Structure 1
Amino acid sequence: MEATWPPRAVTSLGPWRLRDGAGGGKRASAATFTGDPGEVSDATIDDAVQAMRDAGGPVLFQVLPGQEALDAALATRDFALVDPVVIKAAPVAALVGNAPPSPTAQFIWPALAIMREIWEMGGIGPERLSVMERVAGPKTAIFDRVGMKPAGVGFVAMHEGIAMLHALEVQPPLRRKGAARHILGSAIQWAQELGADHLAVAVTSENTPARGLYTSLNMGIVGHYHYRAGS
């Protein structure tokens, strides 16, 4: 995740990995706990909270599977549970043919102005585009049309054999016309051509349409996490 959606900077503080996302969203900004469960304490949490406040960023923790003690400690301190996320993935070889690539899709990087406009309308602004620009490995943006109309965009990057699709956005008037499936199909094509083993996506649990699309392609849940946010 971090390699395909990277923060501006990462620092270590005791058992914490602290990220400066520079406004690039929760994935690039949340702190993660890297220590043993027994290291969770009010003091270590205080250290992380103070460091995030001093840096001027959000006070935000990503809670991973197996970190129930951390989750309970943050809940006790009234840190709100935010955006439960599931990670779905499947072998690229098993996905080929499930969602054919669009005949009108283009692989373009850097992104064109119209692509940036579509992202902007979907709440993916300059800060998240800067995240894409920071990706050091193989990457591309995907642009598709419905008829003659610019319809949707996505960003895909690869790290250690896993291609990850981020920032899939389709203009509201053109949704339910196959653009999202076509962009996903084009991402599968790109992953196959680069020799990726798997394609993965991270999607919030409440995003029912997107989860349904990925499920229809037989992408299974391989991980999950959520955030705890404070002030």
Structure 2
Amino acid sequence: MDLLGRRVSVRHRDGEGVRDVVGRVLAAGPDGLRIERRDGELAFVPAGTVLAMRVVPDRPRRTRRAASFSAEELTRITSRGWPAVESVPLGDWELRASGGFTGRANSVAVHGDPHTDEPFAAVVDFYTARGLRPLAQLVEGSVWDRRFEDAAWVPVTDQPPGAIVQVADLAAVPAPDPEVVVETHASDAWLRHYGRVSEPATARAVLEGPATVGFLSLDDVAIGRVVVTGEWAGLAAVEVDPAHRRRGLARRIVDTALAWAAAHGADKAYLQTMRDNEPALGLYGAYGFTTHHAYRYLTAP
């Protein structure tokens, strides 16, 4: 049976006993199975450890609504949709480095417990060793947000200071626009419209990192990016050339992105935007997106 892309339930044996993994098969080879769970977390089941396996329905009944996820859960989910070139665990935290391309891919994602008595020093050491500024992505108002402040970390001033995270359940999915093109790789033209790119190879490593990602373009004047990790879709990089704004092009990009995401198994979505971006908030509000939480970047003194 061809398992690629199928949703399966696998019971296997590992060093700690017997475990069950449920998710979509991303790769199947002689060494084993690479499986993506519903929250986007990846699991590997080595060949020879499988005790039982069965195919399960592609679109199970949703058990949790988008707004019910915690800010820490969403931080993990959004990080999987924008994966860093280098990712190193610090306990439950994720140290991310990508040559300076975007704050999300070059900051420590703070969630859970770092399992060390010196987390601030560990973060500074990691980024200093890579020639990068120590940067922490923190949920505003969280316990660790206050602890970083108490450790004299300060808000950044030379880049976007943070963003709000909005979520929506994909109940009524719009029809895709037939003129919007969706590709699996970021073309030179797409990167040119996106901007913010000094090293195309590094940018592509981040943008193209997930297994299921689409790059949308319309008439060489509007773009967007959509990624699916498990049951979640991430919408980003919706850009329209200034001379072509207020013509509904962004809406056509978003329509197609959400339709593509639903076709690839997503039943809820997130996006990140600035809290004062009124045009974007108006656009996304029409699709049912509401603010879930805000995050900010702090840097070491």
TM-score over 0.5 for the pair: yes
Unaligned runs of 5+ in 2: 1-77
CA contact (8 A) 2:91 2:113 kept: no
Structure with bigger RCO (C-alpha 8 Å, 6+ apart):
1
Mapping 1:177-192, distance limit 5 Å:
177-192=247-262
Counterpart for residue 170 of structure 2: 92
Counterpart for residue 196 of structure 1: 266
Query: More deviation in 78-87 or 3-12?
Result: 78-87
* 1:25 maps to 2:82: no
The partner residue of 1:45 within 113, 120, 143 is 120
Give the partner amino acid of 2:167. A
Mapping 1:1-150, distance limit 5 Å:
1-13=78-90, 16-36=93-113, 43-64=118-139, 67-74=142-149, 77-80=152-155, 83-94=161-172, 96-97=173-174, 100-120=175-195, 123-125=196-198, 126=200, 127-135=202-210, 137-145=211-219, 150=220
Please give the alpha-carbon distance, in whole angstroms, between the structure 2 residues aligned to 1:198 and 1:12: 27
Please give the alpha-carbon distance, in whole angstroms, between the structure 1 residues aligned to 2:250 and 2:161: 22
Q: TM-score, normalised by structure 2?
A: 0.65
Give the partner amino acid of 1:88. Q
**1:78 shift after superposition:** 4.8
Distance verdict in 2 for CA 1:174–1:50, change over 3 Å: same
CA contact (8 A) 2:166 2:289 kept: yes
Give the partner amino acid of 1:140. G
**1:3 shift after superposition:** 1.8
CA contact (8 A) 2:139 2:145 kept: no
Distance verdict in 2 for CA 1:159–1:80, change over 3 Å: same
**1:75 shift after superposition:** 5.9
4+ residue runs over 6 A deviation = none
Query: More deviation in 12-21 or 25-34?
Result: 12-21
CA contact (8 A) 1:11 1:17 kept: yes
Please give the alpha-carbon distance, in whole angstroms, between the structure 2 residues aligned to 1:34 and 1:196: 24
Distance verdict in 2 for CA 1:111–1:46, change over 3 Å: closer
Please give the alpha-carbon distance, in whole angstroms, between the structure 2 residues aligned to 1:13 and 1:117: 35
SS of residue matched to 1:157: strand
Give the partner amino acid of 1:11. V
**CA deviation profile, 1:84-107 (whole Å, cap 9, x unmatched):** 32211212223x24xx53331011
The size of the alignment, in residue pairs, is: 219
Give the partner amino acid of 1:89. V
**CA deviation profile, 1:63-118 (whole Å, cap 9, x unmatched):** 12563354353366151155232211212223x24xx5333101112233322321
